[in-house]
Amino acid sequence: KMSFNKSLNDDDILRYLDQISDDGDINSDFDDDFETLDEDVISALNLYDNVDEVQDTVDIDLDTCEFVYAVDGDEIINLNENYMLNNEAAVDEGKNVLYAFDGDEIINLNENNVFNNKAAVVDEVKSVCKTKNPKIESDCSDDDQVWISKTGMKTVRPEYLKPKGAIGFDMCNTPTYVFMVFMESILDDLVYQTNLYGTQQNKTLRIQREDILVFIGINFFMGYHSVPSYKDYWSTSPDLGVKLVSNAMPRNTFEKILVNLHCNDNKSLPPNNKDKLFKLRPIIEKLNVAFKNNYYGTRELSVDESMIKFKGRSSIKQYNPMKPIKRGYKIWSMADQKGYMLAFKVYQGKEENVSSEFENYGLGERVVLELTKSVWNEYREIYFDNYFSSPKLLQKLHVERTLACGTIRSNRKGLPNQMLSDKNMTRGDYDIKFLPDGVSFIKWMGNKAVHFISNFHGSEITNVNRKNKDGSSVSVKCPASVSDYNKYMGGVDHADRLRAIYNIERKSHKWWHRLFFGLLDIMFVNSYVVYCSLFGKMTVLEYRRSVVQGLLTKQTLVKKRPSVQIDKNVKRRKNQFSLPQDVRTGNRGIHWPTFIKERRRCEVCSSKRIESRPYSIFLNFINIFTLLVCKKKRLRGLTGLLSPDHRGPTGLLSLRIK
């Protein structure tokens, strides 16, 4: 029989282990010896709590093997690359084997220095042996990731090389011009699809670009100037009517656009359509492109959810009692510090066709990856809350050269098991552990325990102000990740505040109208942020008023006509109007007649060669005389002059001669 003792050297151990196969068969002269090994022999291979004893048993350099793990389990991994000892009859349950922790990853003592079967061993890890360095400890998570505690880790924040601010706004010097840069991305689609829908409904619509812009301008105006009903804006009562609106567009035209407004062709709907946002899909895609291409935003971005209020019936309506807006459409958003939304995604329930690129991730993880994909490889800093974060997500963003930080739920898969207990922590205490790839998990005690995770923060400490119960303020120590999260996380919330000030509150029987006007408000806020970055601060109300006045008066949208002066000394032909068609029918709603002392014959009757006596009714806008009625008891004069649709003042059009 062979004699084993604690003075075994490396050669004896390796020579012994090389003879063991996977099935427990013995392939050498040690067959009989192995079958009769007693417990004293096996104990020579056991792991000792004292590192010095381990070094005496097996000559291992502690500079190379810094950590020693005690592995207690049914499956014992062999130190040899090609063999694994599974013979429970030969080795008592609970026997231990040596592993070395070198630097940032567990390595095996074989020639390749690779831990071959972590899953079989890490599940059975029960304790950690203390080493000579008390500042360094280690822990394993539930998914085989090893977390270690290190001091002196520094934050790694690569240089951000992308430019900041707006793109392509050199010629824009007014709020209306800035707004139109975004509006142009969807304007032609709205005009075409609205007219197409009217044609499909056997209606004759001739909606132009200017009509859609005036329609949107009126809706923006309704955000800060409200009356009981939208029809009251066209009221003739001085206490309700608004001439700015009635002069810009007749009420019937506004209603026609509102009824026939469309963003996509219903007849192109696929037979097995699973896109619940089909009606808005072109607008959503083009707005995302416009938001990305017209503004870089700041380096620090935040991902969060927004809500657009809606209480009607819709399969994508969400209910969240913890939010200020409890019922409505949920929008995943990515915004910068100033409130500019760079990307968004409308949540429509469980996705059936998930992209193969992100199919192995959960909902929150997919949202972050899809929204941030356009800014990968730019070393942007992304902040999000515990709904989205996980170690797996931060490792993926780290690979894509994107910095990320956020709060995290303590029961997430992959987090370390051993952290300081809440009972043993006071305000300002913290515990930090790191993964080999630099992902850090932080537990910090503020007013209560909060957990953070980051893929670029180190162990630096800073201070934050907190209030005591008596209202006094006190400075509390906290990790740098906590301070940065509090500073940069509120981008989406800031965008929501800007949108909620004078948003379009329009109820509709059509479920997608509320979402459409909500997207217009988001576009408006983005244009406001761009304008402020270019020309300085301006209040939201001032900016909104300026955009509305530009849209309703068409100052920048329609080419102005030259002024026309009629030479009274020039002899005119009486069989045609003295003014062009576009002059007579333009500027609808402002041809109000006035009564003056001077009397002249009617311009219309003269062109029709109808006998009429002089009248004192004068249209001061185009400087001609006219009459209200003719001998045939039909409206003349104002007909064709007030508007192409033959609409004039209600009181005048109702006149009849008995």
- Residue 160 CA to residue 201 CA, distance in Å, equals 53
- The string of DSSP codes covering 92-123 is -TT-----EEETTEEE-SSTT---S-HHHHHT
Q: What is the pLDDT of residues 566-592, one digit of tens each?
A: 444 545 555 555 555 555 555 555 555
pLDDT at position 470 is 87
Band the pLDDT of 508: cuts 50, 70, 90.
Answer: confident
Query: How many Å is the Cα radius of gyration of the chain?
Result: 39
pLDDT at position 466 is 85
Lowest-confidence pick of 164-168, 231-235, 357-361, 621-625: 621-625
pLDDT at position 273 is 85
Q: Dihedrals φ, ψ of 163, to 5°?
A: -70, 165
SS3 166: strand
Task: Read off the tokens for 80.
Answer: 């040899």
pLDDT at position 20 over 80: no
pLDDT at position 53 is 45
- The string of DSSP codes covering 339-405 is S-EEEEEE--SS-SS--GGGTTS-HHHHHHHHHHGGGTTTT-EEEE-TTT--HHHHHHHHHTT-EEE
Band the pLDDT of 33: cuts 50, 70, 90.
Answer: very low
pLDDT at position 19 over 80: no
* DSSP 8-state symbol, 192: H
Band the pLDDT of 606: cuts 50, 70, 90.
Answer: confident
State the number of CA atoms in the 13 A half-sphere of 145 facing the CB.
22
Lowest-confidence pick of 395-399, 435-439, 489-493, 604-608: 604-608
Summarize the confidence of residues 159-176 as an average pLDDT: 79
pLDDT at position 551 is 94
Summarize the confidence of residues 337-344 as an average pLDDT: 96
Assign 3-class secondary structure to 558-615.
CCCCCCCCCCCCCCCCCCCCCCCHHHHHCCCCCCCEEEEEEEECCHHHHHHCCCCCCE
Confirm if 95 and 76 have CB atoms less than 8 A apart.
Answer: yes
- Residue 551 CA to residue 214 CA, distance in Å, equals 6
Sign of CA dihedral 55, 60, 64, 68: negative
Among 489, 497, 553, which residue's Cα sits nearest to residue 521? 497
* pLDDT greater at residue 234 or residue 143: 234
SS3 235: coil
- Residue 412 CA to residue 654 CA, distance in Å, equals 74
Contacts of 536 (CB under 8 A, 6+ apart): none
pLDDT at position 170 is 73
Sign of CA dihedral 579, 585, 587, 590: positive
Pairing type for strands 300-309 and 381-384 reads: parallel
Summarize the confidence of residues 68-87 as an average pLDDT: 37
Pairing type for strands 593-600 and 615-619 reads: antiparallel
pLDDT at position 234 over 90: yes
- Residue 272 CA to residue 262 CA, distance in Å, equals 21
- Residue 582 CA to residue 51 CA, distance in Å, equals 98
Q: What is the pLDDT of residues 423-471, one digit of tens each?
A: 889 999 999 999 988 899 999 998 889 999 999 999 899 988 888 888 8
pLDDT at position 345 is 96
From residue 276, give the alpha-carbon distance in Å to each of 191, 292, 643.
23, 24, 41
Angle formed by the axes of helices 540-553 and 491-501, to 10°?
50
| Sequence letter at residue 98 | L
The percentage of the chain sitting over the pLDDT mark of 90, rounded to a whole number, equals 45
**Other C-beta atoms lying within 10 Å of the C-beta of residue 65:** 20
Confirm if 392 and 414 have CB atoms less than 8 A apart.
Answer: yes
pLDDT at position 79 is 34
pLDDT at position 167 is 78
327-341, 460-474, 606-620: which is most confident = 327-341
Among 285, 646, 301, which residue's Cα sits nearest to residue 495? 301
* pLDDT greater at residue 655 or residue 50: 50
Strand partners, 125: 71
Strand partners, 166: 295
Q: Which stretches within 459-510 are classed as H helix?
A: 480-488, 491-501
pLDDT at position 264 is 95
pLDDT at position 366 is 95
pLDDT at position 653 is 36
Among 369, 339, 281, which residue's Cα sits nearest to residue 522? 339
pTM above 0.85, yes or no: no
Domain boundaries, the chain: 10-135, 175-269+507-553, 386-488, 581-653
Q: Dihedrals φ, ψ of 35, to 5°?
A: -65, -25
Q: Which residues of 77-111 are buried (b: 16+ CB within 10 A; e: fewer)?
A: bbbbeebbbbeeeebeeebbbbbbbeeeebbbbee
Band the pLDDT of 17: cuts 50, 70, 90.
Answer: low
* pLDDT greater at residue 271 or residue 101: 271
- Residue 369 CA to residue 362 CA, distance in Å, equals 11
Assign 3-class secondary structure to 45-73.
CCCCCCHHHHHHHCCCCCCCCCEEEEECC
pLDDT at position 465 is 86
- Residue 226 CA to residue 230 CA, distance in Å, equals 8
pLDDT at position 203 is 87
Cα dihedral value 16, 22, 25, 27, nearest 10 = -50
- Residue 215 CA to residue 563 CA, distance in Å, equals 27
- Residue 631 CA to residue 610 CA, distance in Å, equals 9
Mean pLDDT score of the chain, rounded to an integer?
A: 74
Summarize the confidence of residues 114-141 as an average pLDDT: 41
- Residue 372 CA to residue 297 CA, distance in Å, equals 13
pLDDT at position 71 over 50: no
- Strands (DSSP E) contained in 425-571 are 430-434, 440-445, 449-454, 461-467, 473-479
138-147, 218-227, 571-580: which is most confident = 218-227
The percentage of the chain sitting over the pLDDT mark of 70, rounded to a whole number, equals 63
Q: Which residues of 45-64 are buried (b: 16+ CB within 10 A; e: fewer)?
A: bebbeebeebeebbebebee
Confirm if 193 and 262 have CB atoms less than 8 A apart.
Answer: yes
- Residue 540 CA to residue 532 CA, distance in Å, equals 10
- Residue 556 CA to residue 179 CA, distance in Å, equals 11
Residue with tokens 């981008």: 491
Band the pLDDT of 141: cuts 50, 70, 90.
Answer: low
Q: What is the pLDDT of residues 80-124, one digit of tens each?
A: 333 333 343 333 433 333 333 333 333 333 333 333 344 433 343
Band the pLDDT of 385: cuts 50, 70, 90.
Answer: very high
- Residue 75 CA to residue 92 CA, distance in Å, equals 11
pLDDT at position 626 over 60: no
Pairing type for strands 449-454 and 440-445 reads: antiparallel
- Residue 86 CA to residue 76 CA, distance in Å, equals 7
Summarize the confidence of residues 57-76 as an average pLDDT: 39
